[in-house]
Structure 1
Amino acid sequence: MNVFKLFDLTGKVALITGGGRGLGKQIAEAFAEAGCDIIVCSRKIENCQETADMLKEKGIKTIAIACDVTSKVDIENAVNRAIAEFGKIDILVNNSGATWGASVEDMPEEAWDKVMNVNVKGTFMMSQKVGNHMIQNGSGKIINISSVAGIKAEPPEVLDAIGYSTSKAAIIHFTKDLARKWAQDGVYVNSIAPGFFPTKMTNALLDQKSDEIISRVPLKRIGDENMLKGIALYLASTASDFVTGQIIAVDGGATL
């Protein structure tokens, strides 16, 4: 097979949570350029609609759906609508996320619950719903967005958000466990663990601590809007057909 064909997503359908902005939007753009139809969903429909409109202008078949990933009803409605309009879902990107900056001593219980519900429960429920569809079809690619914060413990002067770090560590094991369970069904499950990228979630932290953060990265920079696209496309495409249960850090070497 021609090497470029290995990365071709023509005829595929991807559902991307949190696809209205940041890393999710970048992944949606990459998939669209590879020929994929795109469903973007998140709690804020306005952001998703902007992304969908941008992709439509490029000739991509796409829709935006409002979906709170902590709501089973929202997930069922979103997935059912996606399948009704596109006929299938080949690729799922679990990108919706929440964080809360606070010391362990001061972390409110409700903040812990919010982060866990979005990052862990939401990933589980969306994977369960879409995964059942993929199992019926005998194939599928699931990409969970974790974080290097789930791989290594940062000092408080770099990142003080124990709920976020713990939730992302949970996603890492969830990815491995689910990959083991569903390999026999033709469903691949992998995770991308980004380092620091400029997003709405990280901008305030980067404004305050960018020098400290960059000093700890061997490549001496943070990520940009293109650095996740290649690995996301690889994990979504035929190119990764012998890869499952893997956690790939895209972090400039910060976890070395």
Structure 2
Amino acid sequence: MGSGPLADALVSCLAPRASELAAPALVLVLAGSAADLDPRFDEHLAALAQNGGGRAVVITEADEIAAEALVGDTRRTREEVLRHWPHRTARLATSGVLLNRISVGASTLLGHEPMLVRRVQACSRGAAGLSAGAVAEAVLALLHPRNTYCVGQELRVDGGLGLHWIAPAASISTLPSHRTVPSDPARSSDPARVLVLGASSGIGAAIATAWAARGAEVILAARREKELGEQLDQIRAAGGSGQLYSVDLGTPGAARAVVEHAWEELGPIGGLVHAAGVFALTSRDEPTRATLDRCMSINFLPYAEAAQTLWERWRGTGTSGSIVGISSVGGSRAMVPHLQAYGTSKAAMDHFTRTMALTMAAQGSRINTVAPGLIRTRLANAVDETFLQSWLARIPMGRPGTTTEIVPLASYLLSSRSQSVTGQVIALDGGFSLPNLPSVQLHRRTSA
């Protein structure tokens, strides 16, 4: 685990909840006064690989803080660990070791000077401060037994510091009126009512089912009424509570209407998940504008419309909530030709998340995005087998993910446990987005 006040506090937080962690697992605190690298860490990682895999999390300061707070051997130690981070995580993933990173904000828990802590708080639009409880919840999310498709990712528990908010000119001695992070986020209240757009199948249905099992009332919205009804029947049969709205989210204003109608009919909505999506390649058979309109009208515009509508409701009632968008690695990677319409719509989701996070943060609301890679859904099942094998060759874990592997991290981001996390885009792709060349069979050309 490491040494220092944060490491000690994490042990106290995690020990009673050890049953919630995947095993075997390693956690290394490499931040502040605990920035001495355990020389056995690499040995432990190698042992995990030799024994069939496991989990590992490294906790560091956010880059913005490390540049000023760390000097000498401490800085060199951190740089040594992170220098080859993408390549190391990709290599370990091929052996079943899932290594991820948590970046934290400034705190006296890490031995940071009070003036640095105040400067960081002045640059963070979201929840200020850092608690061991918030970091422990992030560790629990990454080491969740079913979070098995997340590798090489950075989860920033920093109140939105990484969004590069241009704060109004003010004296550093005057702190902004931010929320502070609860010492025990697990005891804060989760959304009691959650709206899921695109809930008739796939990732949306899986998240809705999970939140119904947690006791939330789930509102299922999608175009396919028959499938929605089947999902709702399953939720109710398991003892959950839910309602459904059959709606074509591609119709302008439809997402806003669903939010407003559900709020008035059922009561305040504390959480939103946008999982509706359409996949389309731009081709000569369809005008580029038509393909772009189709992708934007389903993938992005309902997300923005619903988020803005909920934000207006929360602001008007003095409440707050949490939003999670389901994007795609196609929003940040140009994977195949003719993906420009689909990729642009997903990239729009990602950047909307970052900018909306700044808009919502001062009143305590949060928004984050999960960007899945190849996931076994109805859309993925339609992929050509040759292309599927080529894609798998670029994934260090060597397999597609499942909808159940998306649920733990998406649920963490939607819940009160992630109150210091906002504006994040986190890939769940088995390592696809890491630097990784596929293994190919080279054939020597011979003369006749």
TM (norm. structure 1) is: 0.90
Distance 1:220 1:40 in 2: 33
The correspondence of residues 79-118 of structure 1 with structure 2, limited to 5 A, is 79-103=259-283, 107-108=286-287, 109-118=289-298
* Residue 150, structure 1, aligned to residue 328, structure 2: no
Distance 2:261 2:275 in 1: 19
* 1:199 alignment partner, one of 341, 360, 377: 377
Output one character per residue of 1:180-205: Cα deviation in whole Å (capped at 9) or x when no partner. Answer: 11101211010000001122222211
Q: Report the 3-state secondary structure (helix = DSSP H, G, I; strand = E; otherwise coil) of the residue aligned with 1:114.
A: helix
* 1:235 alignment partner, one of 413, 431, 436: 413
Q: 1:232 to 1:26 in 2, by over 3 A?
A: same
Is contact 1:197–1:224 with CA below 8 Å preserved after alignment? yes
Distance 2:252 2:314 in 1: 18
Q: 1:72 to 1:196 in 2, by over 3 A?
A: same
* 1:224 alignment partner, one of 389, 398, 402: 402
Q: Report the 3-state secondary structure (helix = DSSP H, G, I; strand = E; otherwise coil) of the residue aligned with 1:226.
A: helix
- Tell which deviates more after alignment, 133-142 or 32-41: 133-142
Deviation at 1:167, TM superposition (A): 0.7
* Residue 248, structure 1, aligned to residue 434, structure 2: no
* 1:214 alignment partner, one of 392, 398, 409: 392
Deviation at 1:175, TM superposition (A): 0.2
Output one character per residue of 1:48-102: Cα deviation in whole Å (capped at 9) or x when no partner. Answer: 1111111011111101101222334433442233223431101001111112123
Q: 1:120 to 1:56 in 2, by over 3 A?
A: same
Q: 1:89 to 1:107 in 2, by over 3 A?
A: same
Is contact 2:256–2:305 with CA below 8 Å preserved after alignment? no
* Residue 35, structure 1, aligned to residue 230, structure 2: no
Q: Report the 3-state secondary structure (helix = DSSP H, G, I; strand = E; otherwise coil) of the residue aligned with 1:228.
A: helix
Q: 1:24 to 1:231 in 2, by over 3 A?
A: same
Deviation at 1:128, TM superposition (A): 1.5
Q: Which has the larger radius of gyration?
A: 2
* Residue 180, structure 1, aligned to residue 361, structure 2: no
State the partner residue of 2:245. 65
Letter in 2 for 1:144: G
* 2:231 alignment partner, one of 40, 48, 51: 51
Letter in 2 for 1:148: V
State the partner residue of 2:25. none
Deviation at 1:8, TM superposition (A): 8.8
Output one character per residue of 1:171-227: Cα deviation in whole Å (capped at 9) or x when no partner. Answer: 110000000111012110100000011222222115442211110001111101311
Structure 2 unaligned regions, length at least 5:
1-12, 21-184, 435-448
Structure 1 unaligned regions, length at least 5:
none
Letter in 2 for 1:141: S
Deviation at 1:231, TM superposition (A): 0.6
* 2:322 alignment partner, one of 119, 124, 141: 141
Is contact 2:191–2:415 with CA below 8 Å preserved after alignment? no
Cα RMSD (Å): 2.2
Distance 1:72 1:83 in 2: 19
Q: 1:112 to 1:7 in 2, by over 3 A?
A: farther
